[in-house]
A and B are shown apart, each in its own frame.
Chain A
Amino acid sequence: MRAIFEREVSSYYNGIQGYLCGAFILLFAGIYTMGFNLTDGLAAFESVMSYMDFILIIVIPILTMRIISEERRQKTDQLLYSLPMSMTKIVIGKYFAMLVVLILPLIVICAYPYILSMYGDVSLKTAYSAILAYFFLSAALASIGMFISSLTENQGISAGICFICMLVIYYGSTLANFIPASGIASLVAVASVILLVGLILNSLIKNIAISAGVTAVLELILGGAYLLSPSSFENLFPQIVSELSVFDRFYIFTTGIFDITSLVYFLSITGVFLFLTVQSLEKRRWN
């Protein structure tokens, strides 16, 4: 695991990727600190972090695009498969390397509120909790990006799909608000999402019987639930999306609240997608 980790870190910093991600985060952190804290004289550093979220839409695809897809393209995955090391360790080694690339610029950013506090009354606790939450948020998104990278051997495609996913996650809760509050609208929206999940499942396992079966069962349960209690479907979809939204969870921290359930939520997402990445790699052994 350590060997994989070291190789990936050195690969990030032998090339441009590691520096690019760091520079991007630091550039925007600098601009917003300049604007909010220095020019406008705002004493809350967490508001800087609240505007930093959209940068992840660009940083995460750059960070994750080649992490696994490149192994497939160069056929070095054969080496990984033949190593006396479990796939879980390999995936975790790679994941930790990505975390290093994410955490290094954040360590630099940690100095900002401290420096600002020398010249004014800055709440360090809320500032650092916002930075911590930002790290957890980016770690969760990186695991999603890593999973996407494991699905293709073309890093361009991986980056593209990852970018679209990040956009959907970012704007998800805003878009969901456009869905009418009526029960039937939520029913249709949830049914469409189930259908989409079924299609993705089918493209992954390439077994139409299983994926169609799973989709049908889920749709039936949904239909049954709607028939039983149509009223509970009112405004359901926007609510679900908002509950699941990774970014909404992050905004809680930027308002000065330390919400431990949100951190657990970020960790759960990370766990699920690391698991899926391992499965995606293990599955390739079977094909």
Chain B
Amino acid sequence: MIQVSHLSKKYGSRTALDDVSFDVESGHIYGLLGPNGAGKSTTMNIITGCLSSTDGKVLINGYDIFEEPEKAKKFVGYLPEQPPLYQDMTVTEYLTFVAKAKGAKKSAISSQVSQAIENTQISDVAGRLIKHLSKGYKQRVGIAQALIGNPEIIILDEPTVGLDPLQIIEIRDLIKQLGATHTVILSSHILSEVRAVCDHIMIISHGKLVASDTPENLESLLAGAVSVDMTVKATEEEVRTALSQIETISEITCSDAGDGTLSVSIRTGGTEDIRERVFFAFCDMRRPILQLTTARTSLEDVFLELTSHEPSGGDTAAFVETAGIASDGDAGASHTEDNAGGLNDGSLDEEVQSDESNI
């Protein structure tokens, strides 16, 4: 449906997008996830023809967005980050204008407008001037605008930003409903949102696509990394001696808690639960364990791990894709394993630290 290949965008000397490739299949809700300034809006602007790329190609249903923009744009409804609303028009006037501008037939205009109003539940405000609407309603009018012409693909750039919690839930429900009949791509920097709504996640960081998979697969990708956090009454040296007999441990981080105890964070390479062995190891040394917990990697960890790298770190760039929407065609199981391994012996302590600071 949408094929993005080797997309790059440079603003002067700054690279906003660097060789991004992905395919979008019909009937899914895609989430474009990344920290602020990662390149999400740039990607969306290029796909919708609002911005030109420095390099690369975007095909929408086979039409190149740069070479045949008028044909390609017919398949896409777009809500930019800030809804493009004419403040001096009423909602109905505005939507009618959009329908005409999108080239709807005269007979179809009013039915398209009323359909969009109904779908986004804005009929109570249909006759009001847009400048008098609340932010939530403006956002809905923006979405209604994207729905006009019944395009196959709906692209929403941060659709819930600036809304109150109730509005966020309403907009999410709306997006889920849209997902049943359209292909939806939405961007967000809020992980829980993408997780709640999307069935496919693409993570962008520093202009590069660093992961693209279902939420479940992304989590299981790093599930191999089991971490154990514990508090013990021992010195760091004793801890390291005790743990040296457990060969699956890849990393130990200790920090002095101050009251004679030590907070220890252990990472393992395997999936085996090491808590029992840790317990007996400290038992043998007669060092008391005051607390022992285990944690598996969550989507948050994946996100933090993938986006915390500096742009120069080339490792993450290679980490693309596990199933379904391959980019270069060389993605596969071995690729995934390589990267999973790479993540484990890479800078996971960095992730743990940022994790802690977040919690």
The answer to whether A binds B is yes
B359 at the A/B interface (Cβ < 8 Å)?
Answer: no
Given A2-B100, A83-B102, A287-B11: A7 and B73 within 8 A (CB)? no
B49 at the A/B interface (Cβ < 8 Å)?
Answer: yes
A14 at the A/B interface (Cβ < 8 Å)?
Answer: yes
Point out the residues of chain A lying under 8 angstroms from B82, CB to CB. Answer: 75, 78
Contact A85 B50, beta carbon cutoff 8 Å: no
B71 at the A/B interface (Cβ < 8 Å)?
Answer: yes
Given A2-B100, A3-B97, A4-B101: A82 and B87 within 8 A (CB)? no
Point out the residues of chain A lying under 8 angstroms from B102, CB to CB. Answer: 83-84
Contact A76 B84, beta carbon cutoff 8 Å: yes
A255 at the A/B interface (Cβ < 8 Å)?
Answer: no
Contact A74 B87, beta carbon cutoff 8 Å: yes
Shortest beta-carbon distance from A202 to chain B in Å: 15
Given A83-B101, A84-B102: A78 and B70 within 8 A (CB)? no
Contact A3 B100, beta carbon cutoff 8 Å: yes
Question: In the complex, what distance in Å separates the CA atom of A84 from the CA atom of B104?
Answer: 11
Question: In the complex, what distance in Å separates the CA atom of A2 from the CA atom of B70?
Answer: 16
Given A74-B87, A75-B82, A78-B80: A85 and B103 within 8 A (CB)? yes
For chain B residues 47-93, which have a beta carbon within 8 Å of chain A?
48-52, 69-74, 76, 78, 80, 82, 84-89
Question: In the complex, what distance in Å separates the CA atom of A60 from the CA atom of B11?
Answer: 35
Shortest beta-carbon distance from B318 to chain A in Å: 30
Question: In the complex, what distance in Å separates the CA atom of A285 from the CA atom of B87?
Answer: 24
Question: In the complex, what distance in Å separates the CA atom of A86 from the CA atom of B86?
Answer: 20
Question: In the complex, what distance in Å separates the CA atom of A36 from the CA atom of B125?
Answer: 54
Shortest beta-carbon distance from B150 to chain A in Å: 13
B344 at the A/B interface (Cβ < 8 Å)?
Answer: no
For chain A residues 40-56, which have a beta carbon within 8 Å of chain B?
none
For chain A residues 85-128, which have a beta carbon within 8 Å of chain B?
85-86
Residue of A nearest to B101 (CB): A3
Contact A76 B85, beta carbon cutoff 8 Å: yes
Contact A82 B49, beta carbon cutoff 8 Å: yes
Interface secondary structure of A, over-half rule: helix
Interface set of B (CB-CB < 8 Å, partner A): 11, 45, 48-52, 69-74, 76, 78, 80, 82, 84-89, 97-98, 100-103, 145
Point out the residues of chain A lying under 8 angstroms from B100, CB to CB. Answer: 2-3, 6
Please count how many residues in chain A sit with their CB below 8 Å of the partner chain's CB atoms.
23
Q: Could you list 21 A-B pairs, sorted by A, with CB under 8 Å? A: A3-B100, A4-B101, A6-B100, A11-B86, A11-B88, A74-B84, A74-B85, A75-B82, A75-B84, A76-B84, A76-B86, A78-B50, A78-B82, A79-B145, A81-B49, A81-B50, A82-B73, A82-B76, A82-B78, A84-B102, A286-B52
Question: In the complex, what distance in Å separates the CA atom of A270 from the CA atom of B344?
Answer: 65
Contact A78 B84, beta carbon cutoff 8 Å: yes
Chain A 1-23 interface 0/1 with B at a Cβ cutoff of 8 Å (1 = within): 01110110001001100000000
Point out the residues of chain B lying under 8 angstroms from A15, CB to CB. Answer: 88
Residue of B nearest to A75 (CB): B82
Point out the residues of chain A lying under 8 angstroms from B11, CB to CB. Answer: 287
A153 at the A/B interface (Cβ < 8 Å)?
Answer: no
Contact A285 B51, beta carbon cutoff 8 Å: yes
Point out the residues of chain A lying under 8 angstroms from B48, CB to CB. Answer: 81-82
Q: Name B50's contact: one of A7, A14, A82, A86 (CB within 8 Å).
A: A82
Question: In the complex, what distance in Å separates the CA atom of A14 from the CA atom of B88?
Answer: 8
Given A14-B88, A15-B88, A79-B145: A84 and B52 within 8 A (CB)? no
Across chains A and B, which 10 residue pairs bring their CB atoms closest together, nearest first? A3-B100, A79-B84, A84-B73, A81-B50, A3-B101, A78-B80, A76-B84, A82-B78, A75-B82, A78-B84
Interface set of A (CB-CB < 8 Å, partner B): 2-4, 6-7, 11, 14-15, 74-79, 81-86, 285-287
Question: In the complex, what distance in Å separates the CA atom of A100 from the CA atom of B89?
Answer: 20
Residue of A nearest to B151 (CB): A84
Q: Name A79's contact: one of B74, B87, B88, B98 (CB within 8 Å).
A: B98
Give the interface centre of A6, A75, A81, A287 by most chain B CB atoms within 10 Å.
A81
Point out the residues of chain A lying under 8 angstroms from B52, CB to CB. Answer: 285-286
Shortest beta-carbon distance from A282 to chain B in Å: 9
Shortest beta-carbon distance from A83 to chain B in Å: 5
Shortest beta-carbon distance from A86 to chain B in Å: 7
Shortest beta-carbon distance from A140 to chain B in Å: 27
Shortest beta-carbon distance from A127 to chain B in Å: 38
Give the interface centre of B84, B87, B97 by most chain A CB atoms within 10 Å.
B84
Question: In the complex, what distance in Å separates the CA atom of A14 from the CA atom of B97?
Answer: 15
Question: In the complex, what distance in Å separates the CA atom of A78 from the CA atom of B145?
Answer: 12
Contact A86 B49, beta carbon cutoff 8 Å: no
Residue of A nearest to B52 (CB): A285
Shortest beta-carbon distance from A149 to chain B in Å: 16
Point out the residues of chain B lying under 8 angstroms from A84, CB to CB. Answer: 69-74, 102-103
Given A78-B84, A85-B101, 10 more contacts at CB 8 Å? A3-B100, A6-B100, A7-B97, A15-B88, A78-B80, A79-B145, A82-B49, A84-B72, A84-B103, A86-B69
Question: In the complex, what distance in Å separates the CA atom of A83 from the CA atom of B70?
Answer: 8
Point out the residues of chain B lying under 8 angstroms from A82, CB to CB. Answer: 48-50, 73, 76, 78, 80
Question: In the complex, what distance in Å separates the CA atom of A14 from the CA atom of B72?
Answer: 34
Point out the residues of chain A lying under 8 angstroms from B74, CB to CB. Answer: 84
Shortest beta-carbon distance from B265 to chain A in Å: 46
Residue of B nearest to A7 (CB): B97
Residue of A nearest to B155 (CB): A82
Point out the residues of chain B lying under 8 angstroms from A83, CB to CB. Answer: 73, 101-102
Residue of A nearest to B72 (CB): A84
Question: In the complex, what distance in Å separates the CA atom of A72 from the CA atom of B289?
Answer: 63
Shortest beta-carbon distance from A263 to chain B in Å: 32
Residue of A nearest to B83 (CB): A75
Question: In the complex, what distance in Å separates the CA atom of A85 from the CA atom of B85?
Answer: 18
Question: In the complex, what distance in Å separates the CA atom of A57 from the CA atom of B74?
Answer: 41
Point out the residues of chain A lying under 8 angstroms from B45, CB to CB. Answer: 78
